[in-house]
Amino acid sequence: MKIRTFVALAAIGAAVLVAGCASEPVVQRQVGSDATVINRTGRTVAQIAYQPCGSQASAWSSVQMPSIAPGGSIVFQLPAPCSNLRAYYADGGVAGMHTGVKWDFPFTWIVQ
C-alpha cells in the first residue's frame, strides 16, 4: 500500500511540475511605444503630426492629443515603428521637428 501511494504521489508531483512549466506566461512584444513631448517654446503647441519613416513627403497625419501649454508635456503612443514628427503652433508655424523616432528606444522630445 505504501509503495502504491508513493508512486501515485510521485506521478501527481511530476504532473504538477509539467503543468507549471506549460503555464508560464507568454511574453508579447509591445505594439507601439510611448513618446513624451515637453513644450519649452513659450507658446502653446497646438498639434503634432507624424509620418512613417520613408513615406512620401506629403504623407503627414495628426496625432490625437490635446494642445501643450508652455512648460507642459504630454505622452502619446508612437503610431509607427519609425516616425518623423513635427510640432506646430496654432497659427501653423513649425515649433520643431524630429526624425527617425523608433519604438525600440525610450523617447523624450523637448521642443524649444
Q: What is the model's pLDDT at position 19? A: 45
Q: What is the model's pLDDT at position 29? A: 40
For the chain, what are the domain ranges? 34-111
Using one digit for the tens of pLDDT, what is the confidence trace for 79-88? 899 999 999 9
Task: Give the residue-averaged pLDDT of 24-52.
Answer: 81
* The model scores a pTM over 0.95: no
Using one digit for the tens of pLDDT, what is the confidence trace for 22-37? 444 443 445 678 999 9
CA atoms of 30 and 28, how far apart (whole Å): 6
Q: What is the model's pLDDT at position 112? A: 95
* Superfamily name with CATH number, domain 34-111: Domain of unknown function DUF5300 (2.60.40.2890)
CA atoms of 92 and 89, how far apart (whole Å): 5
Q: What is the model's pLDDT at position 31? A: 60
